[in-house]
Amino acid sequence: MPPSPASAAAPPLAAQTGVKATGFGAMLQRWRVPLSVLALCLLPWVLPSQALAVNVLVFGLFAVGYNLLFGYTGLLSFGHAAFFGGGAYLTGIAIAHFGLGWFPAMLVGVLGAGVLAAIMGALSIRTRGIYFSMVTLALSQLVYYVALQASAWTGGENGLRGFTVSTINLFGFTVDFLDPVKKYYVLMVFAALALWFVSRLLNSPFGAVIEAIRENETRARACGYDVERTKLIVFILSGLICGLAGALSALHLAIVPLDTLHYQTSGLVVMMTLLGGAGSFFGPFVGALVFLLIEDVASLWTSHWQLIVGLIFIAFVLFLPKGIWGTLISRRTQG
């Protein structure tokens, strides 16, 4: 009986990949959660608007969830819009149609995204390469068309509207959720908890197993690890985090556009992850920040801002193949 990924004592990550963080890299790894939280605390004060800061927070968290599957496990999914949009829709439906409070509604959104990830993962995880990517894309589009047809619940093409969260009770304090700065810091609490969870996961024996699968799946299988089960667990965890990002987006916007479930949203998170640096802890937030800043500035110049964003993305991929953060860390540690 091969050992399960959760119970097996995985060999040290350095022994699997041949890479051991030292010096500056080790310092960042040790303090990555406090440094991330500090950077997020400062974000509303250094960006042009609080709305942009909230978008960076939400899409950065979306990219963190996606990076867990793509960057650390090596599985390229084109279907993660289903979890982001699913978390957003289920949160909105729980508030608008069932009158739940913001926190129970958010739990419904996150857990619903996790269930959806379990179903999609079970159907796709045994395929490999481009076939895995295409299966996830097809399943995600199926979710999109279900939401489009269920207009009584989702609003159809108009999206889900009619729910607003004006105040939030958090840790015994009543917070004005209509204040953009206060709203940002409430949402940041959940993003920080998700970052802490991802950091703990990556530092655990299970984290070493998923990186071993990324580096050499055949070898990991030969070592006795249940590769398919491990991939499915990561797929579900990734879906849960992306569902949390979607739930936070719904609370922030008080609407859920149908495009949230579209495959373009899946492409968006792929671009953000690659831009920041796949397989790096800080990369997803860096990618989301740079992408949304470029989008914000380019849209002021021309109505064809997508062309500018696309050209800049191509330039980054060609000249910084490890992403912005990945390249900076690589040069810093080598220097």
Q: Over range 82-101, report the average pLDDT.
A: 97
CB atoms within 10 A of CB 79: 26
Number of domains composing the chain:
1
287 is a domain residue: no
Prediction pTM value: 0.91
62 is a domain residue: yes
The sign one gets for the Cα dihedral 208, 211, 215, 216 is positive
Q: Distance between CA atoms of 254 and 268, rounded to whole angstroms?
A: 21
pLDDT of residue 333: 60
Q: Which two tokens stand for residue 16?
A: 């699997």
More confident residue, 301 or 270: 270
> Alpha carbon 81 to chain centroid distance?
10
Decide if pLDDT at 228 tops 90. Answer: yes
**Burial readout 313-326 (b: 16 or more C-beta within 10 A, e: otherwise):** beebeeebebbbbb
Q: Over range 211-234, report the average pLDDT.
A: 94
pLDDT of residue 21: 53
Domain that holds residue 97: 50-260
More confident residue, 22 or 187: 187
Decide if pLDDT at 246 tops 80. Answer: yes
Among the residue ranges 6-15, 27-36, 144-153, 324-333, the one predicted with the least confidence is: 6-15
Decide if pLDDT at 30 tops 80. Answer: no
First to last CA, the chain: 46
Per-residue pLDDT tens digits for 316-334: 889 988 999 888 877 766 5
Among the residue ranges 53-67, 86-100, 186-200, 305-319, the one predicted with the least confidence is: 305-319
- Closest by Cα among 2, 31, 78, 80 to 237: 80
Question: Which runs of E-coded beta strand occur in the chain?
Answer: 167-170, 173-176
pLDDT of residue 138: 97
Q: Over range 141-168, report the average pLDDT.
A: 94
Binned at pLDDT 50, 70 and 90, residue 4 comes out as very low
As a whole number, the mean pLDDT across the chain is 89
97 is a domain residue: yes
318 is a domain residue: no
pLDDT of residue 321: 87
Decide if pLDDT at 79 tops 60. Answer: yes
pLDDT of residue 12: 40
127 is a domain residue: yes
CB atoms within 10 A of CB 15: 11
Length of the chain: 335
Under 8 Å between Cβ of 122 and 65: no
Per-residue pLDDT tens digits for 37-66: 999 999 999 998 999 999 999 999 999 999
Strands 167-170 and 173-176: antiparallel
Binned at pLDDT 50, 70 and 90, residue 19 comes out as very low
pLDDT of residue 29: 74
